Structure 1
Amino acid sequence: MVLDRESQDSDSSSSSEDSGDEDTDFSVGQEQPESSSHEESSDDESEGEMETENAPSGWNSKNGKIIWSPTNLETLRYVPAPTNITPGPTHYAAARIRDPASSFSLFLTDEIVQLTVDMTNLHGRRSVADWREMDCDEFRAYVGLLILAGVYRSKNESSLSLWGEKYGRDIFRATMSHKRFHQIGGALRFDDKLSRPRRREDKLTAFRKVWDMWTYHLELLFNPDRDICIDEQLVPYRGRCRFKQYIPSKPAKYGLKIWAVCNVKTSYAWRLQVYTGKAGDRAEVNQGMRVALELTEGLQGNVVTCDNFFTSFALGEELLRRKIALVGTIRKNKTELPPQLLQTRRRAIFSSVFAFTLTHTIVSYVPRRGKNVLLMSTKHRTPGVSEGQKRKPVIIQDYNRCKGGVDNLDKVVGTYSCRRRTNRWPVALFHNLLDVSLYNSFVLWTTIDPAWKQPKKYRRRLYIEEVAEALIKPHISKRGRLPRSSSAADVVTDAQSAAAGPAAGPAPGPAPGPAPIPKTKCRKQCQLCTDKRRRVVSTCCKCKKPACKDHCLSICSLCFK
């Protein structure tokens, strides 16, 4: 009987141990199933109470300040706040856009043009010996030529070949001479250099006025949708600059870094901020959080998507106070993460582990063996997983859908980029200003007039060509000297006749407007040369045959009679 009692005690103890192991397998926060038998001993009840008291209440973070739960039973439901704005072009933009040229002029405003013309003329009078004053029409024509060079994919092509008679294009020679184009590009300035010592504390002082005026209109003309994206943009530049950055993951690697907020649906650049380096000798702490808060200032009800440079637990909390949700990847060295999410051993491929707080959700997804991806979201509050083969979490699907706003902007801007090689960083920023303005104005125009050139798949190229033509035409119509090339001369003549046509009445007589430009004489071969015929312009006064200087005689009018 004693042996039987001991065996019964061992069986009961083993069963209680097995039940304890089964209890630890349940996720924390779930309701545990009630026991079927109510006839338990008081000792077993006391042991069960001790086990529940010793059971962990969640996963502690590395810093011990945050407790994560494997279930979302205590997580609050996400209710998006209203944005209080209508997405798309604002009423200010819709009332002023009539054609593609007027859409682009909302970004390259008359104030920016006038400031650039004044500062360029000021520098030209100081440094260029034979400087000729530039007006606003000539500056717009200069910008139009830069845009056309981008349309023709000639950003790396020599400007001399663009003006060449054999392989060049007539529109460049018809607008201005190659010498004048280089003269304007060399004297292009955006501030008074002599007044910079008073503004030495600002590293962007050489371009600050133009930049502030331009970025103000970016926000004025467009309201973003609910989904926005924050990322960095690198303007290619390898010259001397105090805040030049090296980013090996970018195609250009060296350049000027710009923090950008883009609309996910259209990739419209809504807010931009140039990174001018660290303020003091020490590196900035929580730089990603500061930049994200500054770029989203004034917004409400939006969902921000960003990469692991910006994402943190503190950023998610601060954005929630502003009624903004956050979705982004998070680095594995963050101290607010629990160690349980970092483990990849013995985890199945395409498996997901979730962790929750009241307002935050973190998922650890294993796309392949030995690697996991961590994402944090304040928008998703449930452990949602897709039904596909890879069983991706819903957080990852939303992140993949919204993460490419700024990257797509870089792609479309680089397709028809007007940037040229330069040693001055303000000019590099000005070229990027033109590229972004062209794309943003295209978004505004196609949103207001969706049927414009709808059947064609290269609408953006047609739009850029139309904008460049509108910028060039006023200067061509005022040109007083005909270019040497006959084809370029025909372009000037046609433009001037078109500009003077509406002003001319039905009455006979010379039409008002610019004086007609005489046609240039064509070169012909000398009729008297035998071995090598020269191409000359001079002709005989009697037979009208072309003759070179070796077969011509100089005679006065008295002897000729």
Structure 2
Amino acid sequence: PQLPAFTGLPGCRVNTENFLPVHFFHLFMDDVFLEEIVEQTNVYAEQYLRDNAARLKPQSRATHWVPTYLQEMKRFLGLSFLMGLIRKPSLASYWSTSPLMATAIFPATMTRNRYLLLLRMLHFVDNALALPRDHPDCDRLFKIRPVLDHFVDRFSEVYVPGKEISVDESLVLFKGRLVFKQYIPSKRARYGIKLYMLSESSTGYVYNFWVYTGRDSSIDPPGCPATFGVSEKIVWELARWLFNKGHHLYVDHFYTGVQLFKELFRVDTVACGTIRSNRKGYPRELVCKKLERGQCSALRNNELLALTFSDRRDVYMLSTIHDESTSPVAVWGQVAEVRKPACILDYNRHMGGVDRVDQRLEPYTALSKSYVWYKKLALHLFHLATLNAFIVYKDCSPESRMTF
């Protein structure tokens, strides 16, 4: 097919001359953002102490609260990040004085009680502004909305992904009570808060994301056809800022559909993905056709290619990028007679952006019982912002430290 030319300008959109590594972190979490967290944490602490004054026991940790400030919040976040590198069985064990468990940096930076108190009071928005749960405009993500809006803006403002991008879902581990908690057995976390992410295939840079809040989630991106379902609207919302630039989008069977791919092609965004065999519009003759292992069958309708390939099981593909060509593949390091369609090879090569993010962030999974859901999600986004900052740093500093 005649593919649209890629006209995007990938890479960092900020002048990073004379940047130190920490300045890349500040691109996503600057002092203005952190000062807002400091302010809201102090506001919540004041509200909490006022509302619970009669119930607090004299020995309660909360009675020792003093307002926090910017440098202390930075130390708090630094220790929280460090916990991903130094794994211990509980939060308290990071302040252990046992010769077998001691890690000097933690007590030297902040006392245990102060850290736990900051974690208890950590807040991102004024609770006094919350709408009642039965209000039609009630936002399930109200507790973390400023953080979400900040990162959605910064991720797209700082860096532009290359030609190949992918959309997939990620799961933030959370096993507590939450009305929109999801169960995905294929994910490492299995239980948690589901995020839909658009990432750069080659690096894993997360350009955009959207938090799923249940079946009644409202999503209606501008320019989206009224006939789209939720999965198609998610792709449209995540990718719409990259339309008309010739990007190649890779998605899995949850999103792939004939109507979506046609509409994406109309805005100069070509796509490829696995598809469920019973999806509306997918040719029934490809589903019913019996193939020997290694064989493929394809049909084309204008820009759309529908293809079935028989491997260990039948694989169904839809693409506006590829033709029916095949390429030899290596088996156990040797190029064998096995040939696979180009659309499958490219899908396997470019679909792993979000999985790469999950793999890199897995060590930073927050200790479970010490975090309510919005704090857990916020810390996950802080880690995600740090990973994005590292990717931008590597893009702007391509030379290795090992210079001779």
Q: TM-score, normalised by structure 1?
A: 0.63
Confirm whether residue 323 of structure 1 aligns to residue 268 of structure 2.
yes
Offset of 1:453 from its aligned partner? 3.0
Deviation by residue 1:477-509 (Cα, 9 ceiling, x = unmatched): xxxxxxxxxxxxxxxxxxxxxxxxxxxxxxxxx
Q: 2:4 aligns with which of 80, 86, 102?
A: 80
Residue by residue, what CA displacement relative to the aligned partner does 1:393-420 show, whole Å, maximum 9, x if unpaired? 1111111101111111100111344555
Aligned residue in 1 for 2:332: none
* 1:374 counterpart = 2:316: yes
Aligned amino acid, residue 357 of structure 2: L
**Which structure 2 residue ranges, 5 or more long, are not aligned?**
50-61, 219-226, 330-336
- Letter of the 1:383 counterpart: E
Corresponding position of 1:397:
345
State which of 151, 167, 170 in structure 2 corresponds to 1:214: 151
Q: Which residue of the partner structure matches residue 198 of structure 2? A: 261
Q: Is the 8 A contact 1:420 1:431 kept in 2?
A: no
User: How many residues are aligned here?
Assistant: 368
8 Å CA contact 1:348–1:366 kept in 2: the answer is yes
Q: Encode CA deviations 1:440-493: one digit per residue, 9 max, x unaligned.
A: 1111111112235348xxxxxxxxxxxxxxxxxxxxxxxxxxxxxxxxxxxxxx
Q: What is aligned with 1:550?
A: none
The structure where strand makes up a greater share of residues is: 2
Identity level (%): 29
Match of 1:428 in 2: 376
Q: CA deviation at 1:93?
A: 5.1
The equivalent residue for 1:447 is 395
Contact 1:419 1:431 in 2 (8 A): no
- 2:172 touches 2:193 (CA, 8 Å); kept in 1? yes
Q: Deviations over 1:10-48 (max 9, x none)?
A: xxxxxxxxxxxxxxxxxxxxxxxxxxxxxxxxxxxxxxx
Partner of residue 36, structure 2? 115
Matched residue, 1:239: 176
Q: Residues of 2 paired with 1:82 and 1:280: CA distance?
A: 33
> Which SS does the other structure have where 1:129 is aligned?
helix
Q: What residue is the counterpart of 1:384 in the other structure?
A: 325
* 1:276 paired residue among 188, 213, 231: 213
Report if aligned partners of 1:86, 1:223 keep a CA contact under 8 Å in 2.
yes
- Per-residue CA shift, 1:168-214, capped at 9, x if unaligned? 21110111111101010011111111221278521111110121012
* 1:84-483 matches, cutoff 5 A: 85-90=8-13, 92=14, 94-95=16-17, 98-126=19-47, 127=49, 128-154=62-88, 157-166=89-98, 167-197=101-131, 201-279=138-216, 286-299=229-242, 300-345=245-290, 347-368=291-312, 371-380=313-322, 382-388=323-329, 389-417=337-365, 421-454=369-402
Q: Structure 2: which amino acid aligns with 1:271?
A: N
**1:330-356: CA deviation from partner (whole Å, max 9, x where unpaired):** 0011131222211353x2210010100
CA contact (8 A) 1:153 1:417 kept: no
> Residue 392 of structure 1: CA displacement?
0.4
Measure the CA separation in 1 of the matches of 2:292 and 2:355. Answer: 32
Return the offset for 1:280.
7.6
Partner Cα distance (2:28, 2:217) in 1? 34
Letter matched to residue 324 of structure 2: P
Paired residue secondary structure (1:387): strand
For residues 245 and 192 of structure 1, the distance between their equivalents in structure 2, rounded to whole angstroms, comes to: 27
Change (3 A) 1:454 1:203: farther
Aligned residue identity for 1:331: R
Cα gap change, 1:444/1:421 in structure 2, threshold over 3 Å: closer, same or farther?
farther
* Residues 277/78 of structure 1: CA separation in 2 closer, same or farther (3 Å cut): same
2-structure distance, mates of 1:450, 1:426: 36
Shift of 1:153: 3.1
Highest Rg: 1 or 2? 1
* Partners of 2:356 and 2:42 in 1: CA distance: 37
CA distance in 1, matches of 2:343, 2:103: 51
For the aligned residue pairs, the C-alpha RMSD in angstroms reads 2.0
CA contact (8 A) 2:195 2:209 kept: yes
Shift of 1:82: 3.1
Do the aligned partners of 1:239 and 1:423 also contact (CA within 8 Å) in 2?
A: no
Secondary structure of the residue that 2:310 maps to in structure 1? strand
Cα deviations across residues 48-95 of structure 1 (Å, max 9, x unaligned)? xxxxxxxxxxxxxxxxxxxxxxxxxxxxx3222332x321111x2525
Cα 1:314–1:81 change in 2 (3 A) is same
Partner SS state of residue 408, structure 1: helix
With over 3 angstroms needed to count, the CA separation of the structure-2 counterparts of 1:88 and 1:408, relative to structure 1, is: same
> In the aligned structure 1, how far is the partner of 2:259 from the partner of 2:217?
24
Divergent runs of 4+, >6 A: none
